[in-house]
């Protein structure tokens, strides 16, 4: 701030950069309909091309595919859920060992699942019963 005045909106044919008309250096770009719908401040910037578009694509891709739990967080949660199973006095026969193993895996899953954040894309995909993966090609082994 202050921002450069631009008398006429233009598009640079070489870079694709869009310069929107600006008649006041102290006013952000805005859209009156979005302001009314969102009831909030905004600063609109066109990001159709160039480095800003690349940065936006990176941000969205990173957000949609984010892994929320680091290895050490996951390890700490699993360790917490398995402490009761580490007691040596809790010995069982083979049939009970299989059931005990099943319950251990279930306990670990029940500990980790609530900690996992889901993106809007993941939730929408699940609610619409879409497959987890789309591809335009079929691969052979």
If one compares 78 and 48, the residue with the highest pLDDT of the two is: 78
What value does the mean pLDDT take over residues 95-123?
76
What confidence score (pLDDT) does residue 95 get?
Answer: 63
- Whole-angstrom CA distances from 52 to 15, 42, 46 are 12, 17, 9
Q: Strands, E, within 17-59: which ranges?
A: 18-19
pLDDT in tens, 52-92: 778 888 887 877 776 666 666 777 777 777 776 666 665 56
Average pLDDT value for residue range 25-35: 77
Q: Give the list of residues 6+ apart from residue 36 with CB closer than 8 angstroms, or none.
A: none
Q: How far is Cα 74 from Cα 103, in angstroms, rounded to an integer?
A: 18
């Amino acid at each position: 701030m202050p921002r450069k005045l631009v008398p006429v909106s233009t598009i640079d044919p070489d870079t694709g950069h869009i310069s929107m008309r600006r008649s006041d250096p102290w006013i952000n770009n805005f859209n009156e309909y979005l302001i009314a719908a969102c009831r909030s401040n905004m600063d609109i910037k066109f990001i159709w091309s160039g480095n800003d578009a690349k940065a936006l694509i990176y941000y969205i891709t990173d957000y949609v595919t984010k892994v929320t739990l680091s290895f050490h967080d996951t390890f700490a949660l699993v360790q917490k859920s398995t402490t009761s199973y580490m007691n040596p006095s809790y010995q069982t026969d083979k049939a009970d060992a299989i059931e005990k193993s099943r319950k251990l895996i279930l306990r670990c899953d029940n500990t980790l699942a609530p900690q996992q954040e889901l993106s809007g894309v993941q939730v929408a995909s699940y609610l619409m019963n879409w497959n987890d993966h789309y591809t335009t090609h079929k691969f052979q082994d």
